[in-house]
């Protein structure tokens, strides 16, 4: 029997659009109280209003996942409003797809800071809450680029390889406290992230990833679905 998400408090990063928005909307529809965070406050409020209009519970709290101070404030405000944090969805991510020679240092820093440091900061901030009650779940949204080599995406791939390694190690660190860590690694997703010119119905949709996250979250506590790869049935390119 699957677990219910009713009244579960879920913190979703990168919730203003794409996969993060789809996950937040689905979790809210399943009864979770969803905290939406991203840097774009205007888009966050739009998502918040949509969830509330549909009968769900949501709170938009803008934050920068690369800032230790901002993440600490985010977690404190979430606890103030909802009392706890049951689920963390580390979804925020950025990417630049170009050769190493053409990748700027600023682009490198942005990818490393959001895709890796942000996951570290958010995970570290919520773990004391989860350890105290001996229950919790962290879902890290990675990519198949973290399992396959990707020409023209060396730095992005490096961040996702690192994220998968971080997730595997974190899972081993926290499992004895009944905290589950799941890595979801999708191939190309139709979010505009790397496929701006494509509107191919065979490409994975954000809702598909959200459904996969929901599957992992609603497994019984005794089950940790540690890694899930999501591939399009008909691949758009190698590595997907």
Known catalytic residues are 156
Per-residue tokens: 29: 């529809």
Of the candidates 24, 11, 77, the one whose C-alpha atom is nearest the C-alpha of residue 52 is 24
């Amino acid at each position: 029997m699957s677990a219910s998400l009713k009244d579960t408090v879920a913190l979703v990063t990168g919730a203003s659009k794409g996969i993060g928005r789809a996950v937040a909307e689905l979790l809210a529809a399943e009864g979770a109280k969803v905290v939406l965070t991203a840097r774009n406050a205007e888009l966050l409020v739009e998502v918040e209003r949509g969830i509330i209009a549909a009968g769900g519970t949501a709170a938009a709290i803008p934050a920068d996942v690369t800032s230790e101070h901002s993440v600490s404030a985010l977690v404190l405000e979430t606890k103030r409003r909802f009392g706890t944090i049951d689920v963390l969805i580390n979804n925020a991510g950025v990417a630049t797809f170009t050769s190493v020679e053409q990748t700027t240092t600023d682009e490198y820093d942005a990818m490393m800071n959001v895709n890796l440091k942000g996951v570290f900061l958010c995970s570290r901030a919520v773990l004391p809450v989860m350890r105290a009650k001996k229950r919790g779940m962290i879902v890290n949204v990675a990519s198949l680029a973290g399992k396959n080599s990707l020409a023209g995406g060396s730095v992005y791939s490096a961040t996702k390889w690192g994220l998968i390694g971080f997730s595997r190690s974190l899972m081993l660190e926290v499992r004895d406290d009944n905290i589950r860590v799941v890595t979801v690694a999708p191939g190309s997703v139709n979010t505009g992230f790397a496929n701006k010119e494509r509107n191919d119905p065979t490409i994975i949709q954000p809702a598909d990833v959200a459904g996969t996250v929901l599957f992992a979250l609603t497994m019984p506590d005794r089950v940790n679905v540690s890694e899930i790869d999501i591939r399009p049935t008909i691949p758009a390119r190698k590595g997907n």
